[in-house]
């Protein structure tokens, strides 16, 4: 059965009229029926990070128990950027340990800077070693300049004799894992001065 072109045009016009609110588009419809300006916008937005009940519950679980599953859930929910944002108001030890459970490279510069500055260094090294223990996946994006710069800074810190011998050894292990998994292709970063 062949449908005449005229019938198809009438059907399309009728569907367009219904979609526009039963009248000509632009005179009535969803835009004109939008909420009044008197309606507070705050109620329409998602909660701010400070008022995040789920994030607060996950944080409390990590503080109370602190097992691997709790850290992984917190890291999955907040991600590297969310955890880094909480570093200013929360316990740095927990933030750095949770960063080790995140995916990709984004947490590495944050953790490397914490190691270099000495801010909760043991927790930051734990996070670095956990982060670099996972292989690079095919879907991971190419490592950006920030990762190379952070690895270079960490290697310089090791070469300059920063921290204790054990801390330098752990930092070198993290750098070697980056090379082994293909995140960076600069083995000279870790050959400057192995952890003495």
Q: Phi then psi for 50, rounded to 5 degrees?
A: -70, -30
Q: Give the closest residue to 74 by CA, choosing from 54, 90, 88.
A: 54
| Least confident residue range of 59-63, 108-112, 134-138, 190-194 | 190-194
Confidence of residue 6 (pLDDT cuts 50, 70, 90): low
- Tell me the per-residue pLDDT of 28-86, one tens digit each, with 9 for 90 and over: 444 444 444 444 444 444 444 556 788 888 988 988 887 899 999 999 998 888 888 87
Percentage of residues of the chain with pLDDT beyond 90: 27
Does the pTM exceed 0.85?
Answer: no
First to last CA, the chain: 86
SS3 145: helix
């Amino acid at each position: 059965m062949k449908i005449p072109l005229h019938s198809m045009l009438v059907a399309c016009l009728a569907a367009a009229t219904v979609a526009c609110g039963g009248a000509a588009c632009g005179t009535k419809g969803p835009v004109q029926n939008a909420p009044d300006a008197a309606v507070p916008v705050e109620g329409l937005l998602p909660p701010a990070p400070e008022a995040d009940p789920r994030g607060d519950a996950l944080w409390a679980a990590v503080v109370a128990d602190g097992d691997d599953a709790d850290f992984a859930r917190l890291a999955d929910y907040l991600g590297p950027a969310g955890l880094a944002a909480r570093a200013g108001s929360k316990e740095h030890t927990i933030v750095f340990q949770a960063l080790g459970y995140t995916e990709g490279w984004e947490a590495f510069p944050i953790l490397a800077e914490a190691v270099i500055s000495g801010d909760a260094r043991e927790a930051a090294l734990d996070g670095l070693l956990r982060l670099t223990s996972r292989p690079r996946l095919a879907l991971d994006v190419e490592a950006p300049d920030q990762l190379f710069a952070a690895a270079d800074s960490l290697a310089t810190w090791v070469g300059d004799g920063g921290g204790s011998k054990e801390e330098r050894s752990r930092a070198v292990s993290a750098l070697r894992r980056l090379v082994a998994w293909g995140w960076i292709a600069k083995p000279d970063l870790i050959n400057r001065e192995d952890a003495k």
